[in-house]
Structures are given as C-alpha cells and as structure tokens.
Chains A and B, each alone.
Chain A
Amino acid sequence: MLLSKQNLMPLLNSLASDVDVFVPTTIDGVKKFARLADGVEPDFDMINTTMPPKDLLFPQTQKMYHFDVDKNGSYHIHEYDESREQIVFGIRPCDMRSIVCLDEVFLTKGFVDEFYANAREKLLTVSIGCTQAAETCFCTSMGVDPIYAPNADVMLQDTGDAYKVTAQTPKGEAAVSAWSEFLSDGDAEPVNCDVTLKVSMEGVVDKLEGMYDSPIWENLSIKCLNCGTCTYVCPTCHCFDISQENRKKDGVRFRCWDSCMFSEYTAMAGGHNPRPEKLERERNRFMHKLNFFERRYGMSLCVGCGRCVEKCPVALDITRLIDDIGSYEVAPASAE
C-alpha cells in the first residue's frame, strides 16, 4: 500500500477530527510532538524532535489521584485516568525503540504501571522511516534500523513521492483499513538513510562489568554540570518523583519527571546520599544505559537518537564514551 504525499495532510486532518493526533512540529521554536490543530504545521522532514515523544505515555507532570475530606472528616481518594485515544504520527524508528524500552520498564518484571499502561493501550504509533540522518544520529550502532521500526503499529517508509504503508499489528491493520480512501495499491522501494556516525558496541556491555571502578568515569563526569538536560531530552529516561499539592485538607498527588543527574535525587531523609558526587551519578546513568538495562531486559537503554549528544551543554558525548570503553584496556583481574 502506498500513501501519496499529497494525501498525507488530508489523512491527518481526517484523523484529527476524531482523535488527538500528535505530529512532529516546531512550536515557539521548540521541536516537539504536538497535537495537530489550527496553526500547528506538521514537519515530517524534521530529522528528529528536541523533546522526545515519551511524554505522550509518561507526561512530565502526571496527576495520579486527588483526595478530599467529606463532612465527617474522612479522606477519599479519587483516581484520575486522563488517558485518551491518541495517534502519534511520524515517530522515528529510534523513538519507537525507546517505547519498547519504556514498555519493558513500565509493563513487565514486577508491577504494571497503570497510568502508563492505560496511555499505551490507547496509543496508535505510526512511524515514518528516516531519509536523512543528523550528524549526531547513531541509531544503527544501537541496533535500530533508521527506515524500519518493527514495533510500530503502522510503518511508513519514504519512497520518493509516496510512503509505503505497512500495518504491523492488529491495531495497525484496523487503522490502515480505515484509511483506505487515502491509500493506493502498489509497492516501492523505500529510500535509504545513511547514518554516518557509527560507534562499536562490540564487547562494551561485558567490558563495563569490569569497569565499575575505572578512572574513565572520573574523567567523564568531571565536565558534567549536573543539569537534567540529557535525561529530559532522552526518549528512554523514565525517572520520576511523586509529590503533592494541597489545598487545606484536599490535594492532588502527581508524579513528575526527575533526573538521576540531580544531586538531591537520591538524597534520603536523614541526609545520607548513596550517589553524592557527579562521578557516581554519571557512572550510574551510563552503566544503566549500556549495561544494567542490557543485563535486565536484554537491550540497550540507548537508542542512538543523538539528542543528548546534540543538547549537552558541555558536549559530554555518549558516543565518545562508547568509543573510549571500546578502547579501554581492562586491567587483568588482580592477582593481589
């Protein structure tokens, strides 16, 4: 099936009349996914958004429940479910991979996070393969195919004048069947995307096992500012904090993004902090991305989108770290 590029906007407009459709766009100078509405121009040539699409599933501030007191002074808890049917249209394969990571975190191995689960269930993902890579893109090195996202409900691949449309899940098939008036039969070869930035993940995961106390972390972390930029623009970072706001005895409890780069993030009541210095925090972040997550879920928590490489104020670059780890000589197991 093909979707001609002329039909793209008509399709989007027709979709937007029923559900919220989120498209990559630039609002007030910020590239992000925004709800298609008057004045919102989708930009499918944008290589990638600055803000990742994760907040569709895991908003920066998410109300969980509110509570109030009845006339007898008794508390009642009222839950929120603000999830609704959403389509994210034009999500890149790297970001689709990040949703796999988030699915693992929020939906498997223990507790199911209901807020995420509700939103996830109602989200239709329409991925568009890349035709162009930014200099900071290194998805191929992280095992992501820039023109193909296996887990997208619907995959669109640029073939020049049209997109090749593939429904990949039952949800996707149902959706595509409803789009028939905009689609035409046919097949074409997707345009390739050349990702120039390559790093080798060969042996990195295993090597990291022995590098917990390596001086590499000191050298790396020293330039870190401890800001949360990398974690907030990262499509897979998912740390949060639970907090509340009150009005007399009533209040609302919400969770909001937090960053493992902030010094007070792991501070405990009473003052102890297991990760007091940026050395520990940087090490934890990169070990988590490249080793801990791999060990637990069998995949890297870095999808190679390059956002942190692009946005880090001090050019602290995960690709250089991966290179450094590759060339690092692990000291032979000490015989002392």
Chain B
Amino acid sequence: MPVVENNANAIPEDWEPKIIAFCCHWCTYTGADLAGLNRMNYPANVRVLRIPCSGRMNPQYVIEALNKGCDGVLVCGCHPGDCHYVTGNYYARRRMMIFKRLLEYEGLEPGRFQVKWISGAEAGKFRDTVMKAVEDVRALGPINLTREIPYFELPAMPDDDEEAFNAVPEEVFPEEVNA
C-alpha cells in the first residue's frame, strides 16, 4: 500500500529526489544561466528541460515524468505580462492551475508539482525555487504513485546509478498480482 504521511522512516538512506524542471527559454532558462554566471549554488537534483515557452508545456509531459521516475516536477516561465510570445504564460497559468488541482485530487502532494514564474533576471529566485522544490520533495520521500517499469531485474549498466533507481518502491496492488 502506498504510504504518504510520515514515511520519513521509509525513505532509503541514499535516496536522492529526482526533479525535472521545464523552463521557458526566454525567462527562466535565462535566469538559470544567470545563476550560473553568478556562481550561485543549488542542489543538483533538478535537471532542466528547455521549452520555448511555458505555453508549450503539455500536461502530458508531467504525467510522463511522474509515471516514469521523477519525484517532482517544476514548470517555470516568464512572469505574466512578460511572455516573449505575449500570451503563452497566460494560457499556461490557466492550464497548470487546473492540472495541479487535478493531480492533487488524485493524491499527489502539492510539493511534487510546482509552477513558478521566474524572470531572466531572477537568478536568486531560480536558486530559491530549486532549493525549495528539492527540500519539499525530500521531505515527502520517494513518489507514492504506482509505477510499473518492466525492468525488474536487469543487470546494472556500468555507468548506471542503479541504487537510485532501485530505491523507487514497487507498489503493486493485490488485484494486479492476481490479474
């Protein structure tokens, strides 16, 4: 059975949260670059995937990420009013508000899916957002959604971070075993 509350005990010691950040090219990605230029330090658990605009953000990417192995998802774009493409983030704002509520309705903890507007100048905000997201997800522990990745006992690849991968618990319902 998936456990959500007080599962701090269940968190494997060497577990590290995996978080994917979808960042718009014009603002947040620029802000993340600026964080680099300023040599800011933030946790490495976040990997940035560049999209042209937060309006390009298809909710299906989020489901894929959560289904396939990420513990958290960040979506970042320009501040409303600053969209390079004028209106993209307004659409994203609506879509993501609805989608976030839907995911939380299905039991996803709010910390696992976050949306933030970060401008190209807000390197500090980018760093803080990443730190906050990592903190939040770390506190929540490995994701509690059932994933069925079919590679149960594959030999480890030489370069593979197999432990982190195996740390994902295999939650399977009894009826699926039956099926």
Identify the A interface with B (CB < 8 A).
22, 27-28, 32-35, 37, 39-40, 55, 59-60, 63, 66, 68, 71, 245, 247-248, 250, 252, 254
**Highest count of chain A CB atoms <10 Å: which of B155, B158, B179:** B179
Contact partners of B178 in chain A: CB under 8 A? 22, 27, 33-35, 37, 40
Query: Nearest-CB distance from B112 to chain A (Å)?
Result: 22
Minimum-distance CB pairs A-B, first 9: A34-B178, A252-B150, A35-B178, A27-B175, A247-B151, A245-B150, A250-B154, A68-B154, A63-B150
Contact with A along B145-179 (1 / 0, CB 8 A): 00001110011011000000000000000110111
Of B151, B158, B177, B178, chain A has the most CB atoms within 10 Å of the CB of B178
- A63–B155 alpha-carbon span in the complex (Å): 17
Decide: A68 and B150 in contact? CB cutoff 8 A.
no
- Bound-state CA distance A33–B178 (Å) is 8
Asked if A71 and B179 make an inter-chain contact with CB atoms under 8 angstroms apart, the answer reads no
Which residues of B sit under 8 angstroms from A250, Cβ to Cβ?
Answer: 151, 154, 157
Q: Is there an interface contact between A28 and B158, defined as CB atoms closer than 8 Å?
A: no
Q: How far is the CA of A71 from the CA of B175 in the complex (A)?
A: 39
9 sampled A-B residue pairs with Cβ under 8 A = A32-B179, A33-B178, A34-B175, A37-B174, A66-B151, A71-B158, A252-B150, A252-B151, A254-B150
A-B contacts counted at CB < 8 A amount to 37
Q: Which of B154, B157, B158, B177 contacts A66 (CB 8 A)?
A: B154
Residue of chain B at shortest CB distance from A28: B175
Q: Are A59 and B179 in contact (CB under 8 A)?
A: yes
A27–B178 alpha-carbon span in the complex (Å): 10
Q: Is there contact, CB below 8 Å, between B149 and A247?
A: yes
Contact, CB under 8 Å: B151 / A35: no
> How distant is the Cα of A27 from the Cα of B173 in the complex, in angstroms?
11
Contact B155 A68 (CB under 8 A): yes
Contact of B150 among A22, A37, A66 (CB under 8 A): A66
- A59 contacts which chain B residues (CB < 8 A)? 179
A66-B151, A247-B149, A248-B157 known; A60 vs B175 contact (CB < 8 Å): no
In Å, the complex CA distance between A35 and B154 comes to 27
Pair B149/A60 contact, Cβ less than 8 Å: no
**For residue A34, which residues in chain B have a CB less than 8 angstroms away from its CB?**
175, 178-179
Of the candidates A22, A66, A247, A250, the one having the most CB atoms from chain B within 10 angstroms of its own CB is A247
Q: CB distance A60 to B179 under 8 Å?
A: yes
> Which residue of the partner chain B has the closest CB to A36?
B178
B175 (CB) vs chain A CBs: closest residue: A27
* B130-158 with Cβ < 8 A to chain A: 149-151, 154-155, 157-158
> Given the complex, which residues of B lie within 8 Å of A27, measured CB to CB?
175, 178
Q: In the docked arrangement, what's the CA distance between A178 and B56, Å?
A: 65
Give B27-65 as 1s and 0s: 1 = Cβ < 8 Å from A's Cβ atoms.
000000000000000000000000000000000000000
Contacting B177 at CB < 8 Å: which of A35, A68, A71?
A35
Give the residue name and chain of the A residue nearest to B155 (CB). Answer: A68
Closest partner residue, chain B, to A39 (CB atom): B174
Min Cβ gap B64→A in Å is 12
Q: How far is the CB of A149 from chain B (nearest CB, A)?
A: 23
Chain A neighbourhood of B179, CB < 8 A: 32, 34, 55, 59-60
* B158: A residues at CB distance < 8 A: 71
Binary interface profile of B, 54-97, with partner A (CB < 8 Å = 1, else 0)?
00000000000000000000000000000000000000000000
CA distance A250 to B160 in the complex (A): 12
Contact bitstring B7-40, A, C-beta under 8 A = 1, else 0: 0000000000000000000000000000000000
Residues of chain B lying within 8 A (CB to CB) of residue A68 = 154-155
Cα of A80 to Cα of B82 in the assembled complex, Å: 54
Which residues of B have CB within 8 Å of A71? 158
Cα distance A59–B179 when bound, in Å? 8
Which among A22, A39, A60, A68 has the greatest number of chain B C-beta atoms within 10 A? A68
Nearest B residue (CB) for A71 = B158
Besides A37-B178, A247-B154, A252-B151, 14 more A-B contacts (Cβ < 8 Å) are: A22-B178, A34-B175, A34-B179, A35-B178, A37-B174, A66-B150, A66-B151, A68-B154, A68-B155, A245-B149, A245-B150, A247-B149, A247-B151, A250-B154
